[in-house]
Chain A
Amino acid sequence: MQNHGAEKFIGGKQTFESITTKIESVVIDQRKKHPLEWYVVFGIAFGLLQVLMLAVTYLIVRGTGIWGINIPVGWGFAIINFVWWIGIGHAGTLISAILLLMRQQWRNSINRFAEAMTLFAVMCAGIFPLIHTGRPWVAYWLMPIGPNILGMWPQFRSPLVWDVFAVTTYITVSALFWFVGLIPDFGTMRDRAKPKWLKYLFGTLAMGWRGSNQHWFRYESAYLILAGLSTPLVLSVHTIVSFDFAISIVPGWHTTIFPPYFVAGAIYAGFAMVLLLAIPIRAWYGLKDLITMKHIDWMAKFMLGTGMVVFYGYLTEAFYGYYSGNKYEMFMIHNRMTGPYAPLYWSLIVCNGLTPQILWSQRMRHSIPVVFAVSVIVSIGMWLERFIIVVTSLHRDFMPSAWGMYTPTIWDWATFLGTIGLFTFLMFLFVRFVPMINIFEMKDLLHKQEGHAISGRKEHVVVEAASAHE
């Protein structure tokens, strides 16, 4: 750490041993009492998961007619939620890959967590386009698996087909990245687990990892390249998602600002979600020394930064709407600000544009309730943004005779809330059954933080840390 020589990212007095114990006891000691909050939230999430099952089953039985979608607004909740979820996933890749390339070692204590979030968010995202096809049992037609029943192939000039490739690649690479990071930790768990079955389980997952220097050498080299591959991948995924809109000629969609503005929005929403998850979990599981106030502070800054980019996107959209001189574009902006969905538009501006400005103050960034509240508001705001983009552009596009209104039905809400349940359910299972912080990277960080002065000592004592002020 040349640049941050004086900074400490691990709080309290830690040894390699204490870090391992802190992280692993949650998983290995399954009899240990978990916090009551865990059971409560898990129970609610499990309930919502049942709602999702019900909603999807009913959808498959009855078809997409149970949703609020209609002819001017054919995309509705399915695409809003798809874009929202996939955006949330992007912060995970940003933390694990981009910050790794930037040598931001503070990411070590949140990357595992954020990668799991990516994986589960993309799972939730994937459900929507799949069920939105109306006939999910023939969804394999999207893939060039052929010659299929129709004897035809996907249209490779269509952004919707690019999307299929982008999202499947994204979830595959995210899963690989996540699993690779886990291999050495599974080795540690294998060596620490007491019950035989747990030893076998982790032993199988670790695949015989033995921490050999040769293994580490190749591991680090390949991991860095994987990060280098994931970085353009994550940018490409949301760029392609934005192409779903931007390649069309619908007013409000056909703009070149979309790719960067979507990517920034994705990271913005994702950091809000990381904070929403990290804040309670670090408190419940006593991980405040590993996920310190400095982490919360910096993630809040990230939110502020990307939030400004997103806000700039809104301003640009409005400006170019008028500047274009195109009457449909001008009407679209006018309709957005004063039409039937205007209250949602202005809530969006308040949620995403104004609320995060509070994070300029360091005192606010160090207040857990404030950061948590801002994260909730930003998550809602980012959802509203997708609602505004999808619905206001479609519901009044060109011919007034073709205009319409979109109102979600109970089934739209059930599916949406259901995926929140699925996401929380998976996240909570992850916290309980997989080491939620990367153990070996934390040890590496501890070693670097100590410097070279500790040679020969048995106790590796770390002096001070940011979280001590908490």
Chain B
Amino acid sequence: MYHAEETKTVYGMVAEFSDPEEIVVAAHKAREAGYRKMDAYTPFPVHGLSEAIGFQDNLVPWLIFIGGLLGAGIGYGLQVYLNVVEYPMNVGGRPLVPWPAFLPVTFECTVLSAAFFAVFGAIIGMNGLPKPYHPIFNAPNFDLASQDRFFLCIESNDTQFDLEETRHFLQSLGPENVAEVES
């Protein structure tokens, strides 16, 4: 690539939009133009954007499901272990493992564990948070990405990425502003 030297220090090329509909259209066009490594930064979840970018991640529900199963196992297992192995107590010949009476605690443990997996596994863990530094924060006006501006970033590790061409392409989408982002 002609600009091979510069691309090493460039994280990507970012276009700033002022409207959520525009960025969906822009992301569609970028994907049609063959760009794959890109991400959008928006103040709220814009529907249709993931489809436009082509991002899909079905791991979250599975992760939480596994968390729930784990909680159920631990909750029920704890009660069975304590009542059968650790401290068996014969109360008038009643069964040591009355499963209906063990359900409430099992259920609560299921929910607790699944919620932990959802928050610390999916929302924080899979998203790589906490992450105090990220190159995208170098983009001009990026503080508005949490307010009323919508950013589309084509990353420099995209095979099609080229400083001039990508800039030209993004400009053609009618954004407010196009800028390089240092890595």
- A169-B111 contact given A162-B104, A208-B134, CB 8 Å threshold: yes
Q: Which of A389-397, A437-445, A462-470 contacts B (4 or more CB under 8 A)?
A: A437-445
Q: Considering the chains assembled together, what is the distance between the CA atoms of A180 and B21 in angstroms? A: 26
A457–B19 Cα distance when bound, in Å, is: 7
Kindly list chain A residues whose C-beta atoms are within 8 Å of the C-beta of B40.
Answer: 212-213
**A335 close to B (CB within 8 Å):** no
Q: Cα distance A222–B57 when bound, in Å?
A: 11
- In contact, B147 and A17 (Cβ under 8 angstroms): yes
Knowing A218-B126, A454-B19 are in contact, say whether A225-B61 is a contact too (CB < 8 A): yes
- Using C-beta atoms within 8 Å of the partner chain, give the interface range for chain B: 35 or more
Q: Chain A contact residues: over half helix, strand or loop, or mixed?
A: helix
Taking CB atoms and an 8 Å cut-off, the chain B residues in 98-151 that contact chain A are 98, 101-102, 104-105, 107-109, 111-112, 114-116, 118-119, 122-124, 126-127, 129-134, 136-137, 143-148
The complex places the Cα of A215 from the Cα of B130 at a distance, in Å, of 12
* CB <8 Å contact, B105 and A216: no
Contacts known (A156-B82, A165-B109, A222-B122); A188 close to B50, Cβ less than 8 A: no
Minimum CB distance partner of B100 in chain A: A157
Contact flag A215-B108 (CB < 8 Å), given A220-B45, A222-B122, A444-B44: no
B154 on the A face (CB < 8 A): no
Contact bitstring B1-38, A, C-beta under 8 A = 1, else 0: 00000000000000000111110010000000000000
A219 interface residue (CB < 8 Å to B): yes
Q: Which residues, 399 to 457 on A, are CB-close (under 8 Å) to B?
A: 440-441, 443-444, 447, 452, 454-457
A221 at the interface (CB under 8 A from B): yes
Compute how far the CA of A229 lies from the CA of B57 in the bound complex, rounded to whole angstroms. Answer: 20
A456 to B42, alpha carbons, bound, how many Å?
Answer: 16
Check if A16 is an interface residue, CB within 8 A of chain B. Answer: yes
A122 adjacent to chain B (CB < 8 Å): no
> B129: which A residues are within 8 A, CB to CB?
183, 207-209, 215
> Which residues from 202 to 254 on chain A have a C-beta closer than 8 Å to any C-beta of chain B?
203, 207-223, 225-226, 229-230, 232-233, 236, 240, 243
Give the residues in chain A near B49, CB-CB below 8 Å.
213, 216
Identity of the chain A residue whose Cβ is nearest the Cβ of B148 in the assembled complex: A16
- Decide if B78 is an interface residue (CB 8 Å cutoff): yes
Q: How far is the CB of B56 from chain A (nearest CB, A)?
A: 8
Q: In this assembly, does A370 line the interface, its C-beta being within 8 Å of a C-beta of chain B? A: no
The smallest C-beta distance from A442 to any residue of chain B, in angstroms, reads 8
For residue A213, which residues in chain B have a CB less than 8 angstroms away from its CB? 39-42, 46, 49-50, 53, 55
Q: Which of A103-151 contact B (CB under 8 A)?
A: 144
What are 30 sample pairs from A and B whose C-beta atoms fall under 8 A apart? Answer: A17-B148, A156-B82, A162-B105, A165-B108, A166-B108, A169-B108, A176-B116, A203-B132, A210-B136, A211-B41, A211-B42, A212-B40, A212-B41, A213-B39, A213-B42, A213-B49, A216-B45, A218-B122, A218-B127, A221-B57, A221-B61, A222-B119, A222-B123, A223-B123, A229-B68, A440-B44, A443-B148, A455-B19, A455-B21, A458-B18
Across the A-B interface, the 8 shortest Cβ-Cβ residue pairs: A207-B130, A16-B148, A208-B131, A191-B143, A222-B122, A216-B45, A162-B104, A455-B21
Please name 8 further chain A to chain B contacts, defined as beta carbons within 8 Å, in addition to the given A157-B101, A215-B127, sorted by A numbering: A16-B148, A156-B83, A162-B104, A192-B147, A207-B124, A214-B39, A216-B46, A219-B127
